[in-house]
Structure 1
Amino acid sequence: MNIKHIFFDLDHTLWDFDRNSELTFSQIFKEQNIQLKIKDFLEVYMPINLNYWRLYREDKIPKSDLRYNRLKDSFESLNYTISDDLINKISEDYITYLPSHNYLFEGTIEILEYLSKKYKLNIITNGFEEVQNLKLQKSGIAKYFKEIITSESVSVKKPNPKIFEFALKKANAIPQNSIMIGDSYEADIKGALNFGMIAIYFTHNKNKESGVLSVNNLLELKNYL
């Protein structure tokens, strides 16, 4: 592979979103005296959140609906009475507090150190503009990346080819010498492959897709790069 440019997803790929999200909700529930066990809440919230992110990615709902409805539906599923004002407060606090928790996946720093000596590294993320840059800075990994491309800055989301086109143009790269690494088969892998890039699927021990390069641990990237 004649690779010169690597494009990483951020959440669930380098930045441990689930762990940091749990810490954020724990902080908020304690502050607001919400009488629910975090584990019980997250069991309901996580699939609801994933579904709303899919709708958001497909441009079927705006960001405001994603941020409010994922909380409202979760509390309703648990039969927990809560005011709209408090849901909105939690929604705002969640975005504010989230970047202050910065656990990275095992091997993140080591693999970025290794790859940055050989390739130009970049980020393509569907996450919210206002928090993604903070996550990168506060976790100490911003220094590794040349370009940070957020879906909000391009007004389209992965797997839309326009975000890959924009990212490669900004990085002065072409599909043939560029690789995408991410955890979403739909957004990261299919999106990149359809644009003519190479892609590596970070599976987190999920089922591997046939015919697709994949790793279970970030350090396994050394086998390919």
Structure 2
Amino acid sequence: MSNCQPLGFDWVLFDADETLFHFDAFAGLKRLFQRFGVDFDAAHYQEYQQVNKPLWVEYQEGRISAKTLQEQRFAQWGERLGVAPAALNSGFLSAMADICAPLPEVPELLESLKGRYRLGIITNGFTELQRIRLERTGFADHFEVLVISEEVGLAKPDRAIFDHALDAMGNPARERVLMVGDTLSSDILGGLNAGLHTCWYNPDAKVIEQGIQPHLEIRCHSELARLLA
């Protein structure tokens, strides 16, 4: 792990889910299925994740579209309830927007960076959640660039989604851009592939995956605020 201080950055890019925002999928699913009289429990959630997680891998590898992921993860529930999978997915994203909350210290971090760095978001999340959540939290005004994988047809860690973001940013020098995210296999690997500096938000002290070496690692957002002060 590099101990060098991050000097001379012009831009800081963030992942969204579990980097800026708490993402409690279980709570969102419980909220969704209450509408259909289903007491969604831990066993249901495990069953859902057995379908959902492999779909996310396929999506991040560019083998399926966002639409396919969103519908296939609710296909079994759609059959059980007689509801279109797309409608269930929309209901889930709406429920997640209702319960969204910033992670601890995020409002303070963003306020500390205002006027000193240009800020952007690159997320593999979906438009229906990302945009409304930024508006409801009042964070939208902090970010000059919002790149959502569903809208551009690319997903992290594909270098192309970072190239798309950099084009929108006016193509700054890549060594002057810091990518901050919680997921090594998408945020950090993607940032490294794109020639950016990377910062791994790792509050649970997870072990680094082989072959993925972030430039920086933080446990909390106040630590990042100090590094960028």
Same fold (TM over 0.5): yes
Structure-to-structure mapping, 1:171-186, within 5 angstroms:
171-172=169-170, 173-186=172-185
Q: Which runs of 5+ in 2 are unaligned?
A: 1-6
Code of the aligned partner of 2:122: I
CA drift at 1:169: 2.1
* Range with greater deviation from structure 2 (176-185 or 89-98): 89-98
Code of the aligned partner of 1:166: H
Q: What is residue 14 of structure 1 aligned with on the other side?
A: 20
Instruction: Work out the percentage of aligned pairs sharing the same amino acid.
Output: 26
Q: Distance in 2 between matches of 1:149 and 1:191?
A: 14
Code of the aligned partner of 1:217: C
Deviations 1:115-138, CA, capped at 9 Å, x for gaps: 224211111111112321111111
Structure-to-structure mapping, 1:203-218, within 5 angstroms:
203-209=202-208, 211-212=213-214, 213-218=216-221
Q: What is residue 62 of structure 1 aligned with on the other side?
A: 65
CA drift at 1:28: 1.9
Code of the aligned partner of 1:155: G
Structure-to-structure mapping, 1:156-175, within 5 angstroms:
156-172=154-170, 173-175=172-174
Q: What is residue 139 of structure 2 aligned with on the other side?
A: 141
Q: What is residue 192 of structure 1 aligned with on the other side?
A: 191
- For the 8 Å contact 1:208–1:214, the answer to whether it is kept is no
Match of 1:53 among 51, 56, 61: 56
CA drift at 1:177: 0.5
By percentage of residues, which structure has more helix? 1
- For the 8 Å contact 2:157–2:189, the answer to whether it is kept is yes
Code of the aligned partner of 2:20: L
The yes-or-no answer on 1:113 pairing with 2:116 is: no
* Range with greater deviation from structure 2 (39-48 or 99-108): 39-48
Code of the aligned partner of 2:159: P
Code of the aligned partner of 1:11: D
CA drift at 1:54: 1.4
Give 3-state SS (helix, strand or coil) of 2:101's partner: coil
Structure-to-structure mapping, 1:33-44, within 5 angstroms:
33-37=37-41, 39-44=42-47
Q: What is residue 100 of structure 1 aligned with on the other side?
A: 98
Distance 1:211 1:23, change over 3 A: closer
Give 3-state SS (helix, strand or coil) of 2:217's partner: strand
Let me know the Cα RMSD of the aligned residues.
Answer: 2.3
Code of the aligned partner of 1:195: A
Residue correspondences, number: 217
Distance 1:50 1:140, change over 3 A: farther
- For the 8 Å contact 2:191–2:197, the answer to whether it is kept is yes
Q: Distance in 1 between matches of 2:69 and 2:186?
A: 17
Deviations 1:84-118, CA, capped at 9 Å, x for gaps: 52655422311233212221111110111112242
Q: Distance in 1 between matches of 2:87 and 2:152?
A: 28
Q: Which runs of 5+ in 1 are unaligned?
A: 76-80
Give 3-state SS (helix, strand or coil) of 1:32's partner: coil
Q: What is residue 26 of structure 1 aligned with on the other side?
A: 30
Q: What is residue 221 of structure 1 aligned with on the other side?
A: 224
Q: What is residue 122 of structure 2 aligned with on the other side?
A: 124
Q: What is residue 202 of structure 1 aligned with on the other side?
A: 201
CA drift at 1:41: 2.5
Distance 1:50 1:220, change over 3 A: farther
